[in-house]
Structure 1
Amino acid sequence: MRRISRRLIGVFIVLIFPYTLFAQVMGIEDAVNAALSNYPSLSAAQSALEALRVNAQLIKDNRLPNVRLHDQINVGTANGLSGSYFSMGLIVPTSGGRRPENSSDLASGNIALATADWEVYNFGRFQAEDRLARADILVGEAAVENEKFGIRQTVINTYLELLWLRQTLKIEERNIARVDTARRIIGNLVNNGIRPGLDSSLASVEFSRAKLNYFQMQEELQRAFIQLATLTARPVNALEIDTSFQQQALLMQPIEIKLTADHPLLRYRTNLVNRQTSEIELIRKSALPRVSLLTSAWARGTSLDIDNNFGPIGSGFGFSRTNFLVGIAATVNLMDFHRIKNRSQMQQWRVKQASSQLETQQFQLQNMLTTSDSVMATVRLALLELPTALNSAERAYQQRLSLYNNGLENILGLTDALQLLTTVEKQAVNIQRRAVNVRLHRAYATSNFEDFFSLFRRQ
C-alpha cells in the first residue's frame, strides 16, 4: 500500500511540476549572483551613477572661457538721431550721421567680432561645486551598493521561501501517503464488517483534505519559483534550487560580527548627510563676488566716408577700422546675501533630516543584531528538542494505527495521531526556518553574509 501511495505522489509531482526533473540546480549564492548580473533596477542605479560622473565633468567644462566669433555683412539705410534708449533686443541699432532729412540711400558694412570672458576667481565657489559633485558621486555609488544589498536580500528571502515550501511539500507528501495507507486499511476493515461505514467516510474526507493541502502547497511553490525566475532572469522550466543546507551548523555558535559604518545602508545615509552639508557651503559661496577676465577685438568696414557721405556699396565689405579691449570685471548681487540666509537655513534642516535618518538606520540595524544574538540560544534549544518531538509523534501514530487495527482505538484517535505527526513535522520546519532567519538577520544587520552562506555550501 505504501508503494502505491508513493507512486501516486510521484504522479502528482510529474503532472504539476515536470520541469523540476530536468532543471539545473541553482545554489543560493548562484541565485544572488544571477540577480545582481541581470536585475533592471541595479542597471538603473548604475546609469544614474554614470550620469553623476558625467555631470561632474560638465561642471568643470562650464568653467572654460567663453570664446565667441562673429561676422556679419549688412546693407541698409543709415539715418541717425541723437538720444538714448533700451534696445530690449527688439530695436536694431543704426550707426550713421544726423541729417536734416531722412535718406533712402543704401550703405554697406562689415563687422567681425571676437570676444572672450573667463570667470577666473570667485572666492571658493568652484571648489565648493567640486566637493558637491564628488559628494553626489559618493551618494550614487552608495545607492548602487544599497540597491545590490536590497536585491540580495530579496533573492535570499525568495530562495528560503522555496526551501521551506519544498520541505513542507515533502511533509504533505508523507501525510498523503500515511492517510492513504490508513484509508486502505480502514476500507478493508469496513468491507469485512469489522468497522462501521462512518470510519471509511471519515478516512476519505481526511484523504481529500490532505490532497487539497498538497495542491495548495504546490500552487505556493510555483508562485515562488516564478518570482525567483524573474529575479534571476532564468526560465522557470530551467530553474531548480539546492534544498540541502547544513542543519547541524545551526547548533554551532556563529562567528562574532559587529555593526560597522561600512554597512551599505549606513554608508548611503552617511554620504547623503555629507552631500547635504556640502551644499550648504556652495550656497554660501554662491553669493560672493565673481571676478572675470574680459577680452574683445573687432574690425569694421563701411561704405560711408568720414563726412558721412554715401560711397559705392562694395567699398563697405572690407575692414577699415580695428579695435581691441581688455578688462577685469567683478560682479556681485547684494541681494544674494539675503537670499542665501534662508537657503542655508532650509539646507540645514535637510542636513538634520538626513542625520536623523542615519541615526534611525543605525538604531534599527543594531537592534536587529542584538535581538538575533539574544534569541539564538532559545532557538538552539528548540533545535535540540526536535528529534525527541518527531520521534515521539511518529511512535504515537504507529501505536494508534496498531491499536486501531486491533480494535482498541477509534477513528478519531487515529486521526488525531495523524494530525499531530503532521503538525510536529511542520513545526520542525518552522523552527529550522526561525534558526536560519536568525542567522540571516545577523548577516543583514552587519552586511556580513559569509557565515550565513556557509549554511548552504556543500561540504
Structure 2
Amino acid sequence: MTNYKTIIMVLACITMSFHAAHAQQPPLSLSDAWTLAAANYPGINHKKAGIKAATYEQKITRSSMLPQAKMQLQNTYGTFNGSSGAFFPQPGFFNVSGNTDALSGAHVAANTFGSVMADWNLYSFGRQRKNNEAAALQVAHAHSDMDAYLLELKSNVAARYFNMLYTHAKLSWATKNSVRVKEILDLSVNLADAGLKPGADTLLAASSYAQILSDEDHWTGKETASRYQLTEYIADSIAGNTLHNSAYLTPAGDIPAAADSIRQHPYLEVIDTDIRYHQVHSEALGRAAYPSLSLLGGVAERGTGIGKNGVVSNNWQDGFKNGAGNYLVGVGITWNLTGIYSTNLQKKVALQQADAAKSQYDQQALQLNTGLHATMARITEQMQQVRKTQTGVQKATEGYELYLARYQSGLINLSELLQIQLLLQQAENTHIEACREFWELMITNATLTGDFSYLSRRF
C-alpha cells in the first residue's frame, strides 16, 4: 500500500512539473519581438502597398513609350441632308460635307464605320527618359520610406519591450520589499509575544507591510499593462513569457564606439530620394516645352446605304454595303505653344521643392549628428552611475542583514531596522531607475545610428 501511494505521488509530481513547464513559455527575445512586429503590424502592409503602387506607376510611365492605338466602331441610322462648306463639330476637329443633290430614293440611310489609329511618339527631346527616371526614383523613395518605417518600428518595439522589463523589475523590487517587511513583521510578533519587544513594534511593522503591499499592487497593474502595450506590435499574448530581467539590471560595458558623424541613415535616404526626384522632375518639365515627333497611322472601313449610283436605301442591312476602305500614314509634330509658360513655372516649382528638400536634409543630418554626440556623452556617464548604484545596492544589502541580526539580538529597536530597510529599498529603486535611463539612451543611440546590434546581443 505504501509503494502504491509513493507511485501515485511521483506521478502527480511529474504531471505538475509537466504542466508547469508548458505553462511558462520561453523568454521573449527582442529579436523575436521585432520579427513578430514586422510580420503582423498593419503599418508594414501600408508601406508595402505604397511600394507596389509606385512600381505600377513606373510601369504606366514606361508604357507611354509604346505606340498608342485607338479603335472605334459605330453604327448609325438617320438623315443625310448635307450642305457644302466646313464646320467644327467639336473643338479640335472639323468636317466638310458635300452636296447631296445628285442622290435619290429614301431620305434616311444606315451607316457603319470602324477605324484604328496608332500614334507612336518617336522623339520628345528626352522627356520620356526623364519621366522614366522620375518614376524609378518614386519607387526608390517608397523603398526608403519602408526602411525608415522599419527603423521607427524597431525603435517603438524596443521602447515597449524595455518598458515591460522596467515594470517587471519594479514589480520584483516591490515583491522583494514585501518579503523583507513580512519577515520583520513576523519577527516583531514573535519578540513581542516573548516579551522582548513592545507590542507597538507589531503595529509599526504591520503599517510598513501594508504600504509595501500597496506598492506591489501598483506595479502589478503597470506590469500587466506594459505587456498588453507590447502586444500592439507583436499581435500575440505574452502573459506567460519570462523576461531577461537579469540582463536589464546588469548592463554590460561593451558599448558601441561613437561615430564621428552620420552619413547614411534611413531618414536621410528618404529625403535624398525626394531631392533627386524633384531635380529629375524639373528636367522633365523643362523638356516639355519642346515639340514631340510622332509616327501616325490609321485604317478605316465604312459601309452605307447610299449606293454608288446615287440611289439611297433606308434598309438597316444595306448600311453594311457600298464599302469603302482607306488608310493614312505620316508623321506629325505636336507643340503645345501655350503650355510653354505654364511648364516653365512648374519647372521653377520643382526646383524650389528640391531646394526645400536639401534644406530639410541638412536639418535632419544636423539633428541626427547633434543627438548622437549628446547621447554618447550621456551613455558614458550613465554607465558609471549604474555601476555605482549597483555597488550601493550590494553594500545596503550587507548592512541590512547585519542590522536584522542585531534586531533579533535586541541590540537595536524596530524603527532603526525599518529605516535601514527603507535605505535598502531606496538604493534598489535608484539602481532600477538608473538602468531605465541607460537603456532609454541605448534605444535612442540605436535609432540615431540605425544599429540595434548591441540591444539584440543583450536581449
* Contact preservation (8 Å) 2:84, 2:97: no
Provide the residue aligned with 2:51 in structure 1. 49
Provide the residue aligned with 1:9 in structure 2. none
Query: 1:374-393 to 2 correspondence within 5 Å?
Result: 374-393=377-396
* Contact preservation (8 Å) 1:301, 1:317: yes
Q: What per-residue deviation string (whole Å, max 9, x for no partner) do you get for residues 323-379 of structure 1?
A: 222222222222322212332333233223322222222122212321233233322
Aligned pair 1:163/2:165, yes or no?
yes
Return the alpha-carbon distance in structure 1 between the equivalents of residues 246 and 300 of structure 2: 82
Provide the residue aligned with 1:31 in structure 2. 33
* Contact preservation (8 Å) 1:110, 1:319: no
- How high is the sequence identity, in percent, across the aligned residues? 21
Aligned length: 438
Q: Which of 426, 436, 457 is 1:454 aligned to?
A: 457
Shift of 1:151: 1.2
- The alpha-carbon distance between structure 1 residues 235 and 380, as it changes in their structure 2 partners (threshold 3 A), is closer
Provide the residue aligned with 1:126 in structure 2. 128
* Contact preservation (8 Å) 2:131, 2:284: yes
Give the root-mean-square deviation of aligned CA atoms.
Answer: 3.2
Return the alpha-carbon distance in structure 2 between the equivalents of residues 75 and 253 of structure 1: 86
Return the alpha-carbon distance in structure 1 between the equivalents of residues 66 and 136 of structure 2: 19
Provide the residue aligned with 2:71 in structure 1. 69
- The alpha-carbon distance between structure 1 residues 64 and 407, as it changes in their structure 2 partners (threshold 3 A), is same
Aligned pair 1:368/2:375, yes or no?
no
Shift of 1:315: 5.4
Query: 1:57-96 to 2 correspondence within 5 Å?
Result: 57-88=59-90
Give secondary structure in 2 for the equivalent of 1:251.
Answer: coil
* Contact preservation (8 Å) 2:302, 2:325: yes
Return the alpha-carbon distance in structure 2 between the equivalents of residues 397 and 44 of structure 1: 56
Shift of 1:234: 1.7
Q: Which of 341, 344, 361 is 2:344 aligned to?
A: 341
Provide the residue aligned with 2:14 in structure 1. none
Shift of 1:271: 1.5
Shift of 1:262: 3.0
Provide the residue aligned with 1:440 in structure 2. 443
- Name the amino acid aligned to 2:231: A
- The alpha-carbon distance between structure 1 residues 178 and 315, as it changes in their structure 2 partners (threshold 3 A), is closer
Give the TM-score normalised by structure 1: 0.84
Structure 2: where are the runs of 5+ without partners?
1-19
Return the alpha-carbon distance in structure 1 between the equivalents of residues 239 and 435 of structure 2: 28
* Contact preservation (8 Å) 2:75, 2:113: yes
Q: Which of 358, 365, 380 is 2:361 aligned to?
A: 358
For structure 1, which segment, 294-303 or 312-321, has the greater mean C-alpha deviation from structure 2 after superposition? 312-321
Return the alpha-carbon distance in structure 1 between the equivalents of residues 351 and 199 of structure 2: 81
Return the alpha-carbon distance in structure 2 between the equivalents of residues 268 and 370 of structure 1: 23
Return the alpha-carbon distance in structure 2 between the equivalents of residues 283 and 34 of structure 1: 44
- Name the amino acid aligned to 1:205: S
Q: Which of 150, 153, 169 is 1:148 aligned to?
A: 150
Q: What per-residue deviation string (whole Å, max 9, x for no partner) do you get for residues 406-445 of structure 1?
A: 5554544333222211110111122233333343333222
Return the alpha-carbon distance in structure 2 between the equivalents of residues 111 and 399 of structure 1: 108
For structure 1, which segment, 27-36 or 171-180, has the greater mean C-alpha deviation from structure 2 after superposition? 27-36
Give secondary structure in 2 for the equivalent of 1:24.
Answer: coil
- Name the amino acid aligned to 1:354: A
Q: What per-residue deviation string (whole Å, max 9, x for no partner) do you get for residues 83-106 of structure 1?
A: 4433239x9989563449998623
Give secondary structure in 2 for the equivalent of 1:296.
Answer: strand
* Contact preservation (8 Å) 1:139, 1:272: yes
- The alpha-carbon distance between structure 1 residues 431 and 87, as it changes in their structure 2 partners (threshold 3 A), is same
Provide the residue aligned with 2:397 in structure 1. 394
- The alpha-carbon distance between structure 1 residues 92 and 360, as it changes in their structure 2 partners (threshold 3 A), is closer
- Name the amino acid aligned to 2:267: L
Give secondary structure in 1 for the equivalent of 2:120.
Answer: strand
Give secondary structure in 1 for the equivalent of 2:342.
Answer: helix
Aligned pair 1:243/2:245, yes or no?
yes
- The alpha-carbon distance between structure 1 residues 107 and 435, as it changes in their structure 2 partners (threshold 3 A), is closer
Shift of 1:405: 4.7
Shift of 1:307: 6.5
Give secondary structure in 2 for the equivalent of 1:114.
Answer: strand
Return the alpha-carbon distance in structure 2 between the equivalents of residues 395 and 433 of structure 1: 24
Structure 1: where are the runs of 5+ without partners?
1-17
Give secondary structure in 2 for the equivalent of 1:53.
Answer: helix
- The alpha-carbon distance between structure 1 residues 311 and 210, as it changes in their structure 2 partners (threshold 3 A), is closer
Query: 1:282-361 to 2 correspondence within 5 Å?
Result: 282-305=284-307, 308-310=310-312, 313=315, 316-361=319-364
Shift of 1:23: 2.1
- The alpha-carbon distance between structure 1 residues 225 and 248, as it changes in their structure 2 partners (threshold 3 A), is closer
Provide the residue aligned with 2:234 in structure 1. 232
Return the alpha-carbon distance in structure 1 between the equivalents of residues 73 and 391 of structure 2: 97
Q: Which of 417, 420, 423 is 1:417 aligned to?
A: 420
* Contact preservation (8 Å) 1:284, 1:340: yes
Q: What per-residue deviation string (whole Å, max 9, x for no partner) do you get for residues 227-246 of structure 1?
A: 22331222234544333428
* Contact preservation (8 Å) 2:152, 2:447: no
Shift of 1:31: 1.4
Return the alpha-carbon distance in structure 1 between the equivalents of residues 393 and 240 of structure 2: 35
* Contact preservation (8 Å) 1:28, 1:242: no
- The alpha-carbon distance between structure 1 residues 277 and 52, as it changes in their structure 2 partners (threshold 3 A), is same
